[in-house]
Amino acid sequence: MANMHLLSRVGTWHRVVCHVPIPNINNAAGINYRTACVNAGLATVSVLPSGDGTAGTIGVTEVAALASGALVERVVLLDVTQGGTVTTAGAIGAFLDEFYAQLVSDVQEELQARLSQFGRLR
């Protein structure tokens, strides 16, 4: 299962589909964040076509993870060469890994804040 799918390119910018894991923990209201994502309408259908997870497609495992709230999808435009300063395959890979790690942190933090009280009853 891929974390990032690099798609079309315009100039130095690539359309990138990122799959961010959602922690299997409960919020302050005792609701699992994955359940909260689903019930809040944040679990999505992928923008990628169905397939085996290669060549710009999404595999059945990823589809199920999106539907269950275990993953959320983010689509970003990203200059993978950083204005031409990152040019080798290894350096581009390192940049993508760093970008993805920061994106995961940001998305998880945002969703946990947004859904911290989701499902609380009084």
Report the C-alpha gap between 62 and 122 in whole angstroms.
36
Q: Is the residue at 122 inside a domain?
A: no
Please provide the average confidence, as pLDDT, over all residues in the chain: 94
**Paired strand residues for 72:** 20
Q: Is the residue at 99 inside a domain?
A: yes
Element (H, E) at 71: strand 71-79
Report the C-alpha gap between 9 and 7 in whole angstroms.
7
Q: Is the residue at 120 inside a domain?
A: no
When divided into structural domains, the chain yields a total of 1
Q: Is the residue at 119 inside a domain?
A: no
Confidence label for 51 from pLDDT (cuts 50, 70 and 90):
very high
pLDDT tens figures, 6-38: 999 988 899 999 999 999 999 999 999 999 999
Answer whether residue 105 shows pLDDT above 90: yes
**Paired strand residues for 32:** 26
Confirm if 111 and 22 have CB atoms less than 8 A apart: yes
**What range does the domain containing 90 cover?**
4-114
Report the C-alpha gap between 104 and 21 in whole angstroms.
7
Q: Is the residue at 56 inside a domain?
A: yes
Answer whether residue 114 shows pLDDT above 80: yes
Q: What pTM was estimated for this model as a whole?
A: 0.91
Q: Is the residue at 18 inside a domain?
A: yes
Answer whether residue 66 shows pLDDT above 80: yes
pLDDT tens figures, 34-49: 999 999 999 888 999 9
Q: Tokens for 20, please give them.
A: 């961010």
Q: Is the residue at 98 inside a domain?
A: yes
Q: Is the residue at 96 inside a domain?
A: yes
pLDDT given at position 1:
76
Q: Tokens for 56, please give them.
A: 């710009």
Residues 112-119 have a mean pLDDT of 97
Q: What are phi and psi of 88, to 5 degrees?
A: -85, 155
Half-sphere exposure of 60 (CA within 13 A, CB side): 0
Burial class (CB in 10 A: 0-12, 13-18, 19+), 33: buried
